Structure 1
Amino acid sequence: MKFGMRTMKTVLACFLSMVIAQQVGLLYAPAAGIIAILSVGNTKKKSLDTGIARLVSLGIATVLAFFAFQLLGYGALGFSLYLIFFIPITVKYDLTDGIVVTSVLVTHYMLEQSFALSLILNEFLLMGLGVGFALMLNLYMPNLESKINEEQEKIEEGFREIFLSMAASLNQKEASGLLSFCDNLLERINQGRKHAQHYDENQLLSNNWYYEEYFAMRRSQVKLIKEMIFLIGQIQVEEVLVEDLRILLTNTGMTLSEENDGQSILKQIDLVSESYRLKPLPRDRQEFENRARLFQYLQTFKNFIELKAVFYSEQKDESSKSVERIY
């Protein structure tokens, strides 16, 4: 039997909140442990949002329950009237996580048939201990950044391999295996994006969307790569026409990286495009169609690099703004 970190944190949060509640003499002390169990989230932000939502919902529930029990008594009718108003309010204000937990605490008012300040304080302390220990133990989370960086490097390597393979496939009738390679690369990107989202959710004091935006950019690039692979299989031109393109693709495969801003490659693409414009006009329809596919391929390639160039520029601007805010 394997015990994960979340299991251990849940058990410890339940134990501590229940023991402290008993030590300070709170009524219904075990409820603090149950609240802790239900409040340990997958991320720091999730635990914090859940804790705040439950404290707010308890305040709303206490007011509603007071009037409901005063009108219909401390029984099933009064509790039902409370729910009639409480559930729609929590749904409207996105506090539904607190419906069950808060309603359990409301039953304490019903059982004690009282809304004495000491009892109200008792319920808020039970809630505070449960969500407090859950949040405290969730402050420790494994750092996913090194794992994300490893995934980035594997993705970069995958793109480099694709470009080198496309260079070798020019003027061939097919780019064998590259589409399935793209699918595998896309799966890795999606997995990396999930880790990036988890990483961002554990940053309480800052919002750093770099990794999520990086994986989103690479995902968009894969779609363009698939278009390029499809076009390669349809391009059949004189070898002299693809020499410059082959050099360009090889160079891209050798230099593509997270830090590369793409500007140098964009200039090379423009030079290759201009050289094609200076070539003699096509002699027949077939040559015209192949030349058109070649231009389409170059434009798609340019769109691929422009995605990275825009991403790099936006991240650079954001970093500059961050430095200005510090100083």
Structure 2
Amino acid sequence: MVIRTLKNVVAAVGAAWIAQMLHLNFATAASVIAMLSLLDTQKQTFSVAWKRFYTAIIGLVISLAAFNLFGYNIISLGIFLLVFVPVATRLKAKEGIVVNTVIATHYLSYGVMTMPNVLNEMMLLGIGIGVGILLNLHMPSLEPDLIEAQQDIEQSMKQFFLNMSEKLIQMDRNAGSDFESFKALERRIKKAKKKASKAQENFIFSKHQDYVAYFQMRLDQFYWMLYMQKHFERIFVTQREAKAMGEFIHKAAHQFTPTNDASFLLIELAALREDFMKKELPKDLLIFENYASLFQLMNDLEIFLELKVKYLEDDLMPV
């Protein structure tokens, strides 16, 4: 908030000062344009600057026609707006409406559209946009926040796996899920992804790390954790397979890092599944249902790990 306030002050004063130094009419209008050009991200700043530039050319043509055909009066200004606003809206460039309306009122005040007058307005526009872009070239880095969020999310996921592992090994029958913890984790991942999207737009001239893909991968994994929890809660029989699965999950829990390749875990999981399938299926219905849940848990975990492998194969890993 403090940085944004300072930018607005510098933009307003700096743009007006430059305009006055160049002896431009309506010099303070450059302040308004500069402040309107200070957007949240660099990407937005350049996008809006381009829209205001080309709509200024369109506005110039419409102003020239309106004022010369109907005179320099309020009615002509209204006609200008009746034509310009729908055109800007159709071009998805509404950001140019306010600025070009201000420019049109200047033409109305001049009472004539001469080349010096038009040049004056284009220079005001250029100064305002230029100062806004220059100030927005500096954006505070969000990377420390993203790294902290990354570590927090990984720790939460790791704890989920450790808890599941312990309960499987100990055959804990009190394995109820903590719904609020799950919802809190989901909110943290979505918040981190939103912040990563903003960071990505803030640095269009630098190779910014793609944390967006990372947090999307973790969000996809989170939804498979929900399936894992659902199937896990049905596994409460004393069998060596449950213990073996618990030990494997314990090992997987210690692999939560951005750079860890889960391929070797998939190989071990496949071997574990093959070992389970060699055993004769139980005839007791309850034990059979538990076996089914155990295999469903393995399938969920396999997809969970595959998401990480695919993420690394796409070379989107933050380093």
Partner Cα distance (2:112, 2:284) in 1:
94
Corresponding residue number in structure 2 for 1:140: 138
1:73-152 alignment runs, 5 A limit:
73-152=71-150
Structure 2 SS opposite 1:315:
coil
Corresponding residue number in structure 2 for 1:22: 20
Partner deviation per Cα, 1:256-287 (whole Å, 9 max, x = no partner): 21111110111111111111111111212222
Partner deviation per Cα, 1:3-60 (whole Å, 9 max, x = no partner): 6100100110100100111121101111111111211111122222222211111111
1:210-225 alignment runs, 5 A limit:
210-225=210-225
Partner Cα distance (1:103, 1:224) in 2:
53
Partner deviation per Cα, 1:119-163 (whole Å, 9 max, x = no partner): 111001111111111111111111111221121111111111110
Cα distance change on mapping 1:193 and 1:38 into 2, 3 Å: same
Partner Cα distance (2:197, 2:318) in 1:
19
Q: Which deviates more from structure 2 when the two are superposed, residues 138-147 or residues 7-16? A: 138-147
Q: Which deviates more from structure 2 when the two are superposed, residues 7-16 or residues 167-176? A: 167-176
Task: State percent identity of aligned pairs.
Answer: 30
Partner Cα distance (1:222, 1:285) in 2:
31
Partner Cα distance (1:193, 1:308) in 2:
16
Corresponding residue number in structure 2 for 1:180: 180
Corresponding residue number in structure 2 for 1:302: 302
1:114-263 alignment runs, 5 A limit:
114-170=112-168, 171-206=171-206, 208=208, 210-263=210-263
Corresponding residue number in structure 1 for 2:62: 64
Cα distance change on mapping 1:318 and 1:39 into 2, 3 Å: closer
**How much does 1:181 deviate?**
2.4
Contact 1:217 1:307 (8 Å CA) reproduced: yes
Structure 2 counterpart of 1:90, one-letter code: A
Corresponding residue number in structure 1 for 2:30: 32
Partner Cα distance (2:270, 2:178) in 1:
25
**Which consecutive unaligned segments of at least 5 residues does structure 2 have?**
none
**Which consecutive unaligned segments of at least 5 residues does structure 1 have?**
320-327
Q: CA RMSD in A?
A: 1.9
**How much does 1:314 deviate?**
0.6
Contact 1:179 1:226 (8 Å CA) reproduced: no
**How much does 1:318 deviate?**
12
Partner deviation per Cα, 1:154-178 (whole Å, 9 max, x = no partner): 1111111110011112243343454
Partner Cα distance (1:128, 1:152) in 2:
41
Partner deviation per Cα, 1:226-279 (whole Å, 9 max, x = no partner): 111111111223331212101110001112211111101111111111111111
Structure 1 SS opposite 2:254:
helix
Contact 1:18 1:32 (8 Å CA) reproduced: yes
The size of the alignment, in residue pairs, is 317
Q: 1:11 aligns with which of 9, 15, 19?
A: 9
- TM-score, normalised to structure 2, is 0.94
Contact 2:210 2:317 (8 Å CA) reproduced: no
Partner Cα distance (2:300, 2:318) in 1:
27
Contact 1:32 1:130 (8 Å CA) reproduced: yes
